[in-house]
Structure 1
Amino acid sequence: MMERGRKNQKCSSFCNPSMPGATAAATSISGGGDGGGGAYGGDVNAGILDETVLMLVFRSLNWDPHVICVAACVSRRLRAVARRVLFRELCISRAPRMVSALTSGGVAPAGRLGGGWHALAKLLFFCCGCAAPTRFFTPDRAAPGHFVGASRFSKTSGRSFLARRCWGDLLFVSDPCEHPAAGRGGGEDLGAYRGVFRGFMRSRTRAWLIGKQAELETKVRCPYCGARVWSMTAAGLVPRSASKRLGSHEGSLEYFVCVNGHLHGYCWLAHLSTDDDDEEDDGDDTGDDGKHNEEDAERNVEF
């Protein structure tokens, strides 16, 4: 049963937090709402439901995200513990410096991230693909989401996705995940990428979107937390440096940012020749201001 669960790449533990029962489960596991005993009273959390036992078990498994997903599918209580504890430890274990940057400076009170730790864990290990066409990006066919074996997140890359007026923000963005596009002319593949803002509620990006009364999308939701999103293309906040960073032609990309600060987007990736590869290797890794960011925290997140 565990093996079948490992192969199921769309486990419900990585689902919209608004799913039926999720709120009730979180209330129950935290000891509220039932009027008696609570989660820590009596033998409610004895044995495998004891958080200390769960921590030891999953630490011995090196916080395998597939196994955590399977465990979260077993019951509401386990799902609530996974969302509150296990996914947090997974993120800290696999991307410690990135998590430290996202939570430092009091931007995550009591260690709480916008959208929850399960959303960040999904963002680290799951490529959302491209399920349907959007206003500014029309693939020939849908690209399904999938777990990824390794991902590289970089705040230098993230800076390339910030308009000049928003350079004070800290954004981590992954390298694009390549999906072959059947029937696409010019030898281009579909690229899907994702990222996360540090302290999005206090960010310049959010302040600009709110100040300009940018409209939230009606047909697109964040694939990581289920929240509503802004199209950065529609808002006019896509800098030219984003296309350069992705290796895509200008105007051949779109990305969204949700109200919790998660970014996801798509682009067309041109196949590089050998000469193109040499040029990329010789080029400077700079932002729009021409200054190399020596404090880049590029990390490989692996299973």
Structure 2
Amino acid sequence: MMERCIKRQNCNSFSNPSPPAAAAARSITGGGGCSYMADMNTGIMDETVLQLVFRSINWDPHVICVAACVSRRLRAVARRVLFRELCISRAPRMVSALTSDGAAPAGRLGGGWHALAKLLFFCCGCVAPTRFFAPDRPEPGHFVGESRFSKTSGRSFLARRCWGDLLYVSDLCEHPAAGGGEDLGAYRGVFRGFMKSRTRAWLIGRQAELEPRVRCPYCGARVWSMTAAGLVPRSASRRLGAHEGSLEYFVCVNGHLHGYCWLAHLSTDDDRDDSSGGDEEEEEDGSAEFSFRV
């Protein structure tokens, strides 16, 4: 009996510490057993601190992606804050155009800031054949060292009935053929205010079907084939330097564009003429263009 009483008293002393011991425990934990560990992460998880840290490394997209994989809390902060600041820092004119005049209510873009950041820095390649485009071999996606987006190029991808829309499209990412065949070109872009665009209205009005097996590589949403919808103008092939009819591109429900083409082999004279004509068109249209490096 004596031993049982001693054991019971010892158990009670651990479960119900004396008032001085309990006060000491509360002073260490801040009043709760779990709050101490939570408070340890307050400093590093503070959004202002994180912004200062990533600003000091020039918003390196690789590091932000790694940080977003650490925990759910960091991923949420990265999607809400870090990727937005990355886009604003690297492409300020483009972001300003995409968010002005209520195009992005409360600063929210279709698909999220992380999708726009991926679109800026990542070429999706062409990993699988589609209905109108069948590559000889898959071309995996990859980070790009330099990108250039243009709304003048974007206009070349709009049918005449949709010219009121604003679309930014990147320069081609060229993937040379291994066996001396045709080179593959991959490109990507983004609409401003796609929910209110003429392109979307035309697709919805004509009851264009969404592709069953293709998803947007940037936000994962379903896509329309602009080739199937009959919205690919001839100016797109000329702009890309591709064989006419040998291209396809998709637009997702959030307004992200991605596509592929077979590049035509130009002679030196043709290349020089095409280059000079493009410069004149840029000046006349007043396109907002820029380039940036990772």
TM range (shorter): 0.7 to 0.9
| Counterpart secondary structure, 1:135 | coil
Q: Which residue of 2 aligns with 1:279?
A: 273
Which sits farther off after the overlay, 153-162 or 278-287?
278-287
Between structure 1 and structure 2, the one with the greater Rg is: 2
Q: Does 1:191 align with 2:185?
A: yes
- On the 8 A contact 1:55/1:86 being kept in 2, the answer is yes
How many Å separate the matches in 2 of 1:45 and 1:213?
Answer: 50
State the number of aligned residues.
257
| Counterpart secondary structure, 2:261 | strand
Q: Find the partner of 1:98 among 94, 103, 111.
A: 94
| Structure 2 letter corresponding to 1:92 | I
**Deviation (angstroms), 1:44:** 7.5
- On the 8 A contact 1:228/1:258 being kept in 2, the answer is yes
CA distance 1:204–1:64, change in 2 (3 Å): same
Q: Find the partner of 2:128 among 103, 114, 132.
A: 132
Q: Does 1:219 align with 2:210?
A: no
Question: Any stretches of 5+ residues in structure 1 without a counterpart?
Answer: 1-41
How many Å separate the matches in 2 of 1:63 and 1:227?
Answer: 26
| Counterpart secondary structure, 2:44 | helix
Deviations 1:173-196 (A, max 9, x none): 0011011223464xx210000000
Deviations 1:253-273 (A, max 9, x none): 000000000000000112333
| Structure 1 letter corresponding to 2:120 | L
Q: Which residue of 2 aligns with 1:292?
A: 284
Q: Which residue of 2 aligns with 1:109?
A: 105
| Counterpart secondary structure, 1:82 | helix
Query: Where has structure 1 moved over 2 Å in runs of 4 or more?
Result: 42-45, 181-185, 270-273, 284-287
CA distance 1:45–1:209, change in 2 (3 Å): farther
Deviations 1:192-244 (A, max 9, x none): 00000000000000000000000000000000000000000000000000000
Q: TM-score normalised to the size of structure 1? A: 0.82
| Counterpart secondary structure, 1:243 | helix
- On the 8 A contact 1:124/1:301 being kept in 2, the answer is no
Q: Find the partner of 1:75 among 71, 77, 102.
A: 71
- On the 8 A contact 1:140/1:181 being kept in 2, the answer is no
**Deviation (angstroms), 1:246:** 0.2
Q: Which residue of 2 aligns with 1:153?
A: 149
Give 1:39-78 correspondences, 5 Å limit. 43=39, 46-78=42-74
**Deviation (angstroms), 1:301:** 2.7
| Structure 2 letter corresponding to 1:68 | I
Question: Any stretches of 5+ residues in structure 2 without a counterpart?
Answer: 1-37
How many Å separate the matches in 2 of 1:259 and 1:66?
Answer: 27
Which sits farther off after the overlay, 89-98 or 174-183?
174-183
| Structure 1 letter corresponding to 2:94 | M
Give 1:203-242 correspondences, 5 Å limit. 203-242=197-236
Q: CA RMSD in A?
A: 1.6
Percentage identity across paired residues of the two chains: 84
